[in-house]
Structure 1
C-alpha cells in the first residue's frame, strides 16, 4: 500500500513540475511577444511592408526571433540551476565539492547551443517568409498587422526555445544539431547568387561575397563548434568503466576532430586557402572512418543495427568516392552524400549515447521533466 501511495505521490509531483514549467514557458513567450511588439511598432508605423526581402516583415521577425531565442535559451538553462550548464540540474561536482570542469567550459558549451537555437529561429522565419511571399505575390502587410505577426512569431519562438533549454539532453541536442545544419545549408542553396553552383562543388556556396556564403560558412563553423562542444557529454569519462576509458577517449578525440575540421571547412573557403580547406575536408572524413570502427568498444550497449549502420555508411561514402573518380558523379553529389551520411551517423550516435548513458545512470536528470 505504501508503494502505491509513493508512486501516486511521485506522479502528482511530476505532473505539478511539468505544469509549473509550462507556466514559466508561457510567461517567457508572453514577455518575448511584448518586447518584439514594442520594438517593432516604431519601425512598422505608417508603412506597408513586403512579406519577404529587405525591410520586410519576415526580415525583422527573423532578427527579433533570433535574438529573443538566445535570451530564452539562457533563461531556460538558468531555470532551477546554480549556473549555466548544458545538461542536468546543477553542475557536476567532485567529492570535495568543487566543479569537475572549469566554469568557463560549460558556459561556452551552453553559449554555442544557445546561438544555434537563435540561428535556427532566424533562418527558419526567413525561409517561411520566402515561402509565404511566393504564395501571396505582391502582397503587403500593414503596420498593426506586421507588429502583431512579429510579436506572435517571437512569442512562439521564445516559448519553444525555453522548453528546449529546460529539457535539453543528448537526444534533443542531436535534433538541434541536425536541424541547424539542414536549415543553414538549405538557406545557403536557396539564396546562392549563381543558380548553377551545384555544377562545381558544394564548397562553391562559400566562395562568394554574399549572404549565401556567409550563411554557408557560418553554418559549418557553428555546427563544428557544437560537435566539438558536445563531444565531452557524448563520451562521459567520469562514470565510464575503467576498461572502456581508452576506447571512450578515442571516440571523444575523433568527435572533437570532426567538429574542429568541419569548422575549418567553413573558416577556410576554397578562395581563401585551398590547402587548408581540402586538409580540413579530407581530415574530417578520415576521423569519421576511424570513429566508425572505434565506436563499438566504447559503447558496448549499442544495438547491432547501429553498428551495421556505421559500416554501411562507410561503404556508401567509399562507393560515392569511386563514382566521382570514375566520372559517374559530379563532386557536388559526392560531397552531399558524404555530408548527409556523416550528419546522420553523428545524430544517431548522440541518441544511442544518450540512451546508453541513461541506462548506466551517468546522465543527470533534467529539472522540470523530459527525457
Structure 2
C-alpha cells in the first residue's frame, strides 16, 4: 500500500521536475544529424546549380541529374562519416576504439568513409536510372535538378551521420552486406565484357572488364571492414563472457555455457584472416597472377569453414537453431562446389556467387545471434540485480 510523501520527499520530487533534463546521446545524435543534413542540402543545391547551369539535364546519363546527385551524395557521405563516427567513441562499451593503434583507427575510418560514400553513390545512381526508365525522355531545368540533388545530399548526410554515430557490430554487418552486394552488382551491370559470367566471377576485376578498379576496390574495402567487424564481434563475445561470469554464482547449477566458458581468440583470428584474404584477393586481380588470386580466395573459404565448425566449442550457448543453420549452410556451400566440379551442372561463376552469398549471409546471422545472446545475458544480470 502506498503512503503519502512527507514534506522533504515532496520538495525533492518537485525540485526534480523543475530541473532541466539534459539531452541524451540519442537526442544529440538526432539533432546533429538534422543539422548536418540541413547544411548538406544547401551545399548540394548550390553545387548542382553550378553543374546544371545553361542546360536541361536528363534524369540519368550524359552528366544528368542522377550522375551529379550520385557524385554529390557520395562525397557528402564520405565527409560526414568521420564527423559522426567519432561520437561512437562516447559509448561506454566502445572506449576500446580509442585504444587501438592510430594506423588501424585511420585505416578503418577511411574504409568506413569509402563504404558509406560508395553506397550513397550507388543508391542515387541506380535510383535515377530507374526513374529515367519510368519517365522516358524527361529533362529538368537547373532549379528542379538542383532541388532533386539537394534532397539526395540531405538524405545521404542524415543517414550517414546516424550510421556513423550509432555504429556497432550489428549495423556494421548490415553495412558490409549492403556494400558488397551493391558493389558487385554495380560491377556486373557496368562491365564492358558482356560475357564475363561465362568465365568466372573474378573476371570482373580484370583490366579488360572496364570497371576493374570498382570490383577490386570493393573487395579490398570489404576486407578491411571485415577486420573491423572482427573486433566488434569479439568485444561483444567478451562482454557476453563477462556477464556470464558475473552470473556464475547465481547460476551455479547451470550448464557451462551459462557460466561464461567462451574463447574469443580463435574467432578473432578466423574473422581477421577472412578480411585480410578478401582484401588481398582484390589487391591481386585474376589477370595479374591467377594462382595467387585463386589461392587467396580459397583460403578465405577455409577460414570460414574453420569458424563454422569451431564456433559451437568456442562460443557455447548460442542458439542451437543457429548452430544447425550454420552447418546446413556450410553443407549447401559444399554442395554448390560439387555441382560445379565434378558434376558440371553449372559454371564457376554460379558456384562463386552461391558460396559468396552463403558466407556473407552466415556472417550476418553470427552477428545477430551473438547480439541476441548478449541481450539475454544482460537481462539475466538485471533480473538478478532487481531480485536481490
TM-score normalized with structure 2 length: 0.81
Instruction: Tell me what 1:344 maps to.
Output: 361
> 1:226 maps to what in 2?
225
How many angstroms does 1:14 deviate by?
Answer: 9.5
Aligned to 1:301, what secondary structure does the other structure show? coil
Give 1:317's aligned residue: 333
Match of 2:344 among 327, 349, 365: 327
Question: Are residue 48 (structure 1) and residue 30 (structure 2) matched?
Answer: no
| 1:292 Cα deviation after fit | 0.5
How much has 1:335 moved relative to structure 2? 0.5
The CA distance in 2 between the partners of 1:262 and 1:211, in whole Å, is 21
Match of 2:306 among 270, 284, 290: 290
Per residue, is there more helix in 1 or in 2?
2
1:69 to 52, 73, 77: 77
TM-fit CA distance, 1:89: 7.1
Residue 102 (structure 1) shift: 2.5
* Secondary structure class of the residue paired with 1:48: coil
Shift of 1:233: 1.6
Question: In 2 relative to 1, CA 298–107 (structure 1 residues): closer, same or farther, beyond 3 Å?
Answer: farther
Alignment-derived partner of residue 172 in structure 2:
173
Confirm or deny: 8 A CA contact 1:177 1:347 kept in the other structure.
Answer: no
Structure with larger RCO (C-alpha < 8 A, sep 6+): 1
Which structure 2 residue ranges, 5 or more long, are not aligned?
Answer: 6-12, 246-259, 379-388
Aligned pair 1:114/2:113, yes or no? yes
The separation in 2 between residues aligned to 1:80 and 1:167, in whole angstroms, is 6
Query: 29, 34, 41: which one pairs with 2:42?
Result: 34
Contact 1:320 1:329 in 2 (8 A): no
What pairs with 1:167-206 in structure 2 (closer than 5 Å)? Answer: 167-206=166-205
The offset of 1:319, in angstroms, is 0.8
Once the two structures are superposed, residues 320-370 of structure 1 have per-residue CA deviations (whole angstroms, 9 ceiling, x without a partner) of 111111111211111011000000011111222233344556xxxxxxxxx
Are the structure 2 counterparts of residues 142 and 171 from structure 1 closer, same or farther at C-alpha, using a change threshold of 3 Å?
same
Describe the SS at the equivalent of 2:266: helix
Q: Kindly indicate whether residue 272 of structure 2 is the aligned counterpart of residue 273 of structure 1.
A: no
Separation of aligned partners in 2, 1:273 and 1:329: 25
What is the aligned partner in structure 1 of residue 251 from structure 2? none
Tell me, yes or no, if the aligned pair for 2:168 and 2:232 is still in contact at 8 Å. Answer: no
CA displacement 1:273-304 (0-9 Å, x = unmatched): 10111011110111111011111123223111
Kindly report the root-mean-square deviation, in angstroms, between the aligned alpha carbons of the 2 structures: 2.7
Are the equivalent residues in 2 in contact too, given 1:174–1:348 (CA < 8 A)?
no
Question: Which position in structure 1 is the counterpart of 2:384?
Answer: none
Q: Residues of 2 paired with 1:156 and 1:102: CA distance?
A: 33
Q: Which residue of 1 aligns with 2:254?
A: none
What's the secondary structure of 1:50's corresponding residue?
Answer: coil
What is the Cα deviation at residue 258 of structure 1?
Answer: 0.8
Matching of residue 256 in structure 1 with residue 272 in structure 2? yes
Choose 295-304 or 337-346, whichever is displaced more: 295-304
**After the TM superposition, which of the residue ranges 261-270 and 313-322 deviates more from structure 2?**
261-270
Query: Given the alignment, which residue of 370, 373, 383 partners 1:353?
Result: 370
Shift of 1:101: 3.0
CA distance in 1, matches of 2:57, 2:176: 33
3-state SS of paired residue (1:349): helix
Computing the radius of gyration over CA atoms, which structure comes out larger, 1 or 2?
2
* Residues 193, 209 of structure 2: 8 Å contact kept: no
Is residue 130 from structure 1 mapped to residue 129 from structure 2 by the alignment?
yes
Instruction: Tell me how far apart the structure 2 counterparts of residues 160 and 14 of structure 1 sit (CA, whole Å).
Output: 24
Q: Is the 8 A contact 1:221 1:262 kept in 2?
A: yes
Judge conservation of contact 2:40–2:157 (CA < 8 Å) in 1.
yes
2:304 and 2:286 map into 1 onto residues whose CA distance is 22
- Report deviation, 1:78: 3.1
| Aligned-partner SS, 2:193 | coil
Distance (Å, rounded) in 1 between the aligned partners of 2:25 and 2:41: 24
Which residues of structure 1 form unaligned runs of 5+? 94-98, 362-371
